[in-house]
Structure 1
Amino acid sequence: MTTLYLSHPDCLDHQTSKGHPERADRLVVIERALEQEAYSHLLRETAPRGDADMAMLAHTEEYVRNIFEAIPSKGIANIDDETLLSPGSWKAAMRALGAACYAVDEVIERKVDNAFCAIRPPGHHAEHAKPMGFCLFNNAAIAARHAQQKHGLERVAILDWDVHHGNGTQDIFWADKSVLYASIHEMLIYPGTGAACEKGEYDTIVNVPLQAGDGSPIFRLALENAVLPRIEAFAPDLIIISAGFDAHWRDPLANINLTEADFAYATKAVMDVADRCCDGRIVSILEGGYDLIGLSRSAAAHVTALMRG
């Protein structure tokens, strides 16, 4: 089993203000966790640089231009209360897009079995024409569009287990019957979307809201009964995971009590479905996860499972 790990030092250059939960240390602790001997066979590559054309696979030209023009020459600029820009943000965002699309290429062309992109800024809150929630460009949505446009895939499924609902991904694919978006998330926290009744124009949006205090048994049942059967019935040619690890019990921004074992379990369950419907093709893209210990352990468990460890 060959798992590709993609990251780039440029992703560290997206700077946020002191105390901001989305910070460069998130990637640092993942890198350290994957330095252990158990990951000696992990295929590691630096992410190529993406470009504005990639961003426009999911966003308007005006939106992409506005983000570029808003990059400050020094200091920190606020797009909104949560979403910030620094001089290195464009470079970081382009590496994130490059990683996501290159991972799709390598998996579709069967050069690797699956891939994990340790990148930032995250993406799943970025709507078609609006940045939100730490996110500039929707990496998972762009990867899905890239898979369809470059490789001719007919159907792509995106599974989002970040504890916050991926309103951006839902917005982009609301009226698209070729992409299934499924999300398990905590309700009544940011961004306030993701009710079960939000199903999209073609019933290709699957929202499974959890409640504060829910833990492993409820999460696993939701995955097994409400999400994975819908993905398998959709018969995607590729599964993309928006892999947020902020449902971990240690995370300060949510109230779902998962452990790293739950993320390993979820990864293996998705791999079983992928083996049956799309020749095992999975691209996983980092989203949230803001407690450094919980994030590093959960990401390591995720990668171990991808390696069929």
Structure 2
Amino acid sequence: MAWENQTLNSDFILLGIFDHSPFHTFLFTLVLAIFTVACVGNTVMVLLILLDAQLHMPMYFLLSQLSLMDLMLVCTTVPKMAVNFLSGRKSISLAGCGTQIFLSVSLIGAECFLLAAMAYDRYVAICHPLRYQVLMSQKLCAIMVASSWILGSIDGIIEVAVSLTFSYCRSREIAHFFCDVPALLTLSCTDTKTFERMIFVCCVIMLLFPVATITASYTCVLLAVTRMGSGEGRSKAFATCSSHLMVVGMYYGAAMFIYMRPTSERSPTWDKMVSAFYTILTPMLNPLIYSLRNREVSRAFMKVVGKVKCAL
């Protein structure tokens, strides 16, 4: 079997994004700064929502799961890239490559379904506010979150199991900064067309179906908001929904660009740039978007800061 011929000592080479020129060293430092902000921002969001009783609502529970997924995603790619850059070694073991594939694919898939669940939550809150506690119960919220994690993990298991059974007899240099399935498949000497079609079908399900749900939810929300008599209620609804739509647009646009194009049309440079956008930059932007545009989150943060000042 192909797997037997590829021992754990058969390392791949991650070509990465940066060389050691002064400009690339500056960019690497910038990525580390973004990584730090992403880790701190998402950790703070999770802790605020966990510790503040007033944020124990479905909307914020879903937001905490989004922050947790973003935190895990950025930690899947950047630390290994940083270690390789600083050490001068670019290798990654077969087991390490498989781990990156599983985590990245699982988290990307889980986030797709979670964003759809967040859109449904906003639809219920704005279009059916009097029935919100019934239509968006804690049980249903937990089921949606668990389903997002499970469906994402199933996709990750399938992709890592199949991709690592192919023979990689060509160059073992992956033109990427982490083990991404499309970049890995270009190195295979096995016919991967059937697997690529399967990935495309998975992407249709995991990207387009949630997008359809989000579109339908926000169409109803937009109609409901335009009918609101209260200017304050209208502005609050627009602020909440626009934050979510901003995240959806950035995330889905980048994911579709990466996973829904045939191998023949891929450019390693563009793939790396877009992948860096949704695996590094987006996890930093999400907590900033939601915290800066959400009064409850800002209030909870200021309350924690006040407690810390009093303790000092």
Q: Does the TM-score normalized on the shorter chain lie above 0.5? A: no
TM-score normalised over the length of structure 2: 0.26
Q: Which has the larger Rg?
A: 2
Choose between structure 1 and 2: higher helix proportion.
2
TM-score normalised over the length of structure 1: 0.26
Choose between structure 1 and 2: higher strand proportion.
1
RCO higher in structure (CA 8 A, sep ≥6)? 2
